[in-house]
Amino acid sequence: MFDKALELASKFPDTFVFGGYVRDVMIAGLDESYVKDLDLFFQKERDVWSFIEIFSIFFRKLDTTVNRARKRNGYLNNDNDVISCVFIDENKKFYIDCVFPNIYEIQINQQLKEPITYRNADMDVNMFFLKLDGNKSQMQICSLPHNYNPASSTNSDNKRELFFIKTLGAIHQSRFNILNTPDQLALNNRQKTWPDINTVRSKAIKLLWRAEKMVSRGWTQENENAAGRKWYVVKFGNLETSCDKGSWSDVREIVLSESKCSICYGDYEKDHKVLVGPCGHTCHVFCSDYSAEKDKREDTGFVGWIKTGITRSKELRSMNLPYAPTCMSCLMCKRSIF
């Protein structure tokens, strides 16, 4: 189905495909059946509705959801709106997200817009996109910020090329790197001040969810940058080898002493997905994955702890009571995770 969607989308001007389909199918060479969703970027909303109307002639549409940036859905930093569709073919569901610049973004940016920018990218391996242009296509990677300096070269084109090559290598090694913090992802063009704490928390949940999903598929998350140690998700069976070099040697003893989740107190097993903070303490990303309890997955583990903070601050606000907009911290030592 996705090949038909790409063929149709290429008929509309300046349309791109991005996200997991580009990473896993077009670059990594995996079979199309490996992915369940497709991300398309259109320049105009009317093109999206035309695409959906035509595609629905050939494949039955089960559902359509429209998310506007004014609802603070947070899709790509609120610069875009998204229409999410569910289609069915031979009793199999397929998900297509059709993204386009919102009215606010069109007013301040009249140029051709690319689907991804560095400031709204969650991880390096998701920064590739492909422009669909009939029979011609060219793989690209998003522009880099001015302060990105991986090498001595000061030429922006050279930096972009080096990053392109480096990230291609990471994909083929099944390694990924988180690029931005929740605070950075929560910022957008409309905000003149620091973002709302609950928006930051929502971005943190999304980062954890995506990192856990990648690790479940066999990917490895990088756990260091120029500033030193940073949080990462890892299978417990790989925990020992994940902290045996660089700045992690300072807390290696703490990491290796971890055998129980600091939230549910359950014993770790080798396939458990574990969040490791810069302090070396650990917990499950989702405790319910390893429990007989029937709790909602997103209400358990460190993700559930962050959601509790969102709910609690809303309750305090509704009662006009003060609340402490603290960062997401380790439950053991209170050091910031992100």
The rounded mean pLDDT for the chain is 85
Q: Which residues pair with 140 in a beta bridge?
A: 129
Q: Which residues contact 233 (CB under 8 A, 6 or more apart)?
A: 208, 211, 212, 214, 215, 221, 273, 274, 275, 276, 285
The pLDDT value given to residue 292: 78
Specify the pLDDT at position 73: 45
Task: Give the model's confidence band at 42: pLDDT under 50 very low, under 70 low, under 90 confident, else very high.
Answer: very high
List where CATH 3.30.460.10 sits in the chain: 2-173
The percentage of the chain sitting over the pLDDT mark of 70, rounded to a whole number, equals: 85
Q: Is the pLDDT of residue 91 over 80?
A: yes
Question: Average of pLDDT values for 323-330?
Answer: 70
Most confident of 33-47, 97-111, 144-158: 33-47
So what's the pLDDT on residue 97?
94
Q: Which residues contact 53 (CB under 8 A, 6 or more apart)?
A: none
- CA–CA separation, 259 and 237 (whole Å): 11
Residue for token pair 């077009």: 26
Q: Of 26-30, 43-47, 90-94, 193-197, which one has max mean pLDDT?
A: 43-47
279-284: list long-range contacts, CB under 8 Å, 24+ apart. 279/251, 279/254, 279/330, 279/332, 279/333, 279/335, 280/243, 280/248, 280/251, 280/252, 280/253, 280/254, 280/255, 281/254, 281/330, 281/331, 281/332, 281/333, 282/239, 282/255, 282/258, 283/331
Token representation of residue 44: 């105009």
Residues 154-168: pLDDT tens digits? 566 677 888 888 999
Task: Output 155 or 34, whichever has higher pLDDT.
Answer: 34
At CA 257, angle to CA 213 and CA 269, rounded to 5? 40
**Position 87 confidence tier, pLDDT thresholds 50, 70, 90:** very high
Judged by DSSP in three states, 176 sits in: strand
pLDDT in tens, 208-265: 999 999 999 999 999 998 788 999 999 999 999 999 888 999 999 999 999 999 999 9
Choose from 105-109, 147-151, 175-179 the range with maximum mean pLDDT.
Answer: 175-179
Specify the fold of 2-173: Beta Polymerase; domain 2 (3.30.460)
Instruction: Give the separation between CA 14 and CA 18, rounded to whole angstroms.
Output: 13
| Cβ-count burial 217-244 (b if 16+ within 10 Å, e if not) | eebbbebeeeeebbbbbbbbeebeebbe
Mean pLDDT of 309-338: 78
pTM of the model: 0.86
